[in-house]
Amino acid sequence: MPAVVLIGAQWGDEGKGKATDVLGSRIDYVVKFNGGNNAGHTVVVGDETYALHLLPSGILTPSVVPVIGNGVVVDPGVLFQEIDALTVRGVDCSALLVSASAHLITSYHRTVDKVTERFLGNARIGTTGRGIGPAYADKMSRSGLRVQDLLDEKILTQKIAAALESRNHLLVKVYNRRAITVEEVVDELMGYADRIAPMITDVSLELSGALDRGQTVVFEAGQAMMLDVDHGTYPFVTSSSAIAAGACTGTGVPPTRIDRVVAVIKAYTTRVGEGPFPTELVGGSGEDLRARGHEFGTTTGRPRRTGWYDAVIARYTARVNGVTDFVLTKLDVLTGMETVPVCVAYDVGGVRYDEMPMTQTDVHHATPVYEHLEGWSQDITGVREFEDLPAAAQRYVLALEEMSGSRVSVIGVGPDREQIIVRHDLLEG
């Protein structure tokens, strides 16, 4: 059985739960390998809707082992709030495993995140203020705290004292905030130590053993391709590797063990936060698409920016990630439109770009080149076979498939986990 990497193909909020729903009972492990509680996804199970932020979607399936990899930054308070909220609703979270090498988000990370964004003003990045960026910055500067440090209070205290040396100078002298004491941070984090200790494990060893036993492991990205710190619309990106390669660095599983790369992509495009968005709709048309798709952030509640499907981004995602399959979601949202525009290229100062422009400047100045495809009016939420879709909807999907660089294997036609059309098995070549 394969190892499958599951990524978002745009700027997030594509509906990655649809892919895990298709795989269903065949999944043994679901691993979150990057990000933190700055992004979320909504999973609909029957009449129940679950908004997940830090936990992998596998937490909702009793037979699946949910795992948080070393590439994730973990806010323990948020982790246990989410676990407790699910437990009250009857979800068993006892199988959760957390990497000993995952980094911790602390109160001073959250504080620095918020005051920095305010200080930047119009130049702000558009973070969620949850401390993710500062925690990753500490990781890269080798002054971070790891989950395993909760098992040794002496080491934890030493590391916090060293980190606050510089953080307090910043807070007091630049941002005019009070200094944070070592004791308050230690007390907060050690309050979680006993509860998290049974979950802590060597994730690389655990997953290698699972693959050796022939079990199916799904590596689930937080955020999405265009928010990747290296390959996204920098600097308006997240602080981690959200591409397929991040599954390896974020778990300790080698690339030779990855079999499939599944990219989830909406039938249109959305984005939360600042940064370039070539196909963005403004005014009434953007508000109409937002209302049709109920486009508000799972984590923040912020209204998402909306735009038409961007085949340039789809091709870029396919190339950088080696995408084997696309999962196209929210096709039903486009029902009722006479024509549906699709961006097939960019125009930058009179020059046509069929592939992603190389520089930030060119992306910022890109204007979409559209083809207009025929729309459809029939309700498709009950359709389960591709051939039963309206002819225009079939042509729309096939056109996107041809433009985007890989096959469209699954189509989402509604919010419920059962509202899907499967054209190809995601576990097979």
Residues 6+ apart with CB under 8 A from 149: 104, 155, 156, 159
Quick one: CA torsion of 126, 363, 265, 29, rounded to 10 degrees?
-60
- Strands 48-52 and 41-45 come out as antiparallel
Is the C-alpha dihedral spanning 358, 362, 364, 366 positive or negative? negative
Cα 247–Cα 253–Cα 255 angle in degrees, nearest 5: 75
Please indicate whether residue 169 is annotated as part of the active site. Answer: no
Query: Which helix (H) or strand (E) segment is 408 a member of?
Result: strand 407-412
Strand partners, 2: none
Please identify which of the residues 21, 28, 41, 109 carries the catalytic annotation. 41
Please indicate whether residue 362 is annotated as part of the active site. Answer: no
Residues 6+ apart with CB under 8 A from 418: 21
Indicate the SS3 state at residue 420.
strand
Radius of gyration of the chain, Cα coordinates, nearest whole angstrom: 22
DSSP states of 367-395: EEEEEEEE---S--TT--SGGGS-HHHHH
Residues 6+ apart with CB under 8 A from 147: 74, 98, 99, 100, 101, 102, 103, 104, 196, 200
Q: Please, are residues 400 and 318 in contact by the beta-carbon 8 Å criterion? A: no
| Percentages of the chain per state (helix, strand, coil), in multiples of 5 | 40, 20, 40
Indicate the SS3 state at residue 353.
strand
Question: How is residue 320 written in tokens?
Answer: 């950088």
Helix ranges (DSSP H) in 170-270: 182-190, 193-196, 203-212, 246-249
End-to-end CA gap in the chain? 12
Q: What residue type is assigned to position 8 of the chain?
A: G
Q: Please, are residues 106 and 139 in contact by the beta-carbon 8 Å criterion? A: no
> Is-cis flag, bond preceding 235, omega within 30?
yes
Active site (catalytic) residues: 13, 41
